[in-house]
Amino acid sequence: MSTLVASMSSPRRLTVKKAGNGKAKAPRRRRRQRKRPQRCGTEVELPGKLFGLHELKRRGHRIELDGRQKIDGINYYVLRLTLSDGYLTTLYVDPKNWLITRRRDVRPLHVDVDPTPTTIEQRNSDFRTIGGVKFAFASSETDLQSGKVLETTVVRSVKINPALAPSMFEKL
C-alpha cells in the first residue's frame, strides 16, 4: 500500500491498493459524509401524554402489574413501567374510573443542585372528555419525603388538531 499526495489548494491524501494482478487501482475520492443530527434520547414518553398503555410493548417499554396498594383510602392497581432506556416509574390506576390518577418517580429534584434521589408524586384530577379523549385539567407534583408541593398545573382548554398557520414553523 502506498500513499500519494496530490497538490491542489491543499494536499489530499489518497490511498492506492495493489490489485491482484499487480496493477494499481485508481484512487477513489472519499465522499464527505454529512453530519446527521444526533438524537439525544431525552424524548418524553409517558402513557397518557402521547400514547396509550396498549402501545408500550411495540415502543420497546415493559409494563407489569405489581398488585394493589391502598393510598388515601383508594385501593389502586399498581403498574411498574420500565422505559426502554431503563427509567422506572410507577403508575396508579383508580379502580373506580380506570384512570391513571397518580404517578411516582424516584429521581433527583434538581440533579445539578442536589443529585440525591427523592420520591416525587404527580396527581392528576379534574378529568374531562374532549373529542372522545379524557384529559386531566389539574395536576400537582409533591416531594413525598418533605411533603412540599413542587408544582401545580391547571389546564384552561384543550383543542384537538387545531389549524396551524405554516408560518409557525418558519425559522425566525
| Domain locations in the chain as residue ranges | 53-154
152-161 tens-digit pLDDT? 999 999 998 8
Maximum pairwise Cα distance, the chain: 85
The cell numbers describing 18, all together, are: 495493489
27-51 tens-digit pLDDT? 455 555 444 333 334 445 554 566 7
What is d(CA 142, CA 84) in angstroms, rounded to the nearest whole number? 26
> What spatial distance separates the first Cα and last Cα of the chain, rounded to whole Å?
51
Eight-state DSSP code of residue 172: -
pLDDT over threshold 90, residue 80:
yes
Residue 45: predicted pLDDT: 58
Question: Greater confidence, 12 or 69?
Answer: 69
pLDDT over threshold 60, residue 6:
no
pLDDT over threshold 60, residue 11:
no
pLDDT over threshold 50, residue 163:
yes
Residue 10: predicted pLDDT: 34
Residue 142: predicted pLDDT: 96
pLDDT over threshold 90, residue 143:
yes
For β-strands 12-16 and 114-130, DSSP reports them as unpaired
The cell numbers describing 103, all together, are: 404517578
For the chain, percent of residues with pLDDT exceeding 70: 70
Burial of 20 by CB count in 10 Å (0-12 exposed, 13-18 middle, 19+ buried)? Answer: exposed
Residue 102's closest CA among 84, 82, 124, 83? Answer: 124
The cell numbers describing 112, all together, are: 445539578
Residue 135's closest CA among 120, 118, 157, 152? Answer: 157
Give the C-alpha distances (Å, rounded to integers) separating 124 from 62, 102, 135: 22, 6, 9
Q: Which range is least confidently modeled, 32-41, 53-62, 79-88, 122-131?
A: 32-41
What is d(CA 98, CA 100) in angstroms, rounded to the nearest whole number? 7
CATH for 53-154?
Answer: 2.50.20.10
The cell numbers describing 80, all together, are: 411498574
Residue 39: predicted pLDDT: 38
Confidence of residue 133 (pLDDT cuts 50, 70, 90): confident
Question: Greater confidence, 135 or 6?
Answer: 135
What is d(CA 99, CA 136) in angstroms, rounded to the nearest whole number? 10
Confidence of residue 20 (pLDDT cuts 50, 70, 90): very low
Residue 80's closest CA among 72, 88, 71? Answer: 88
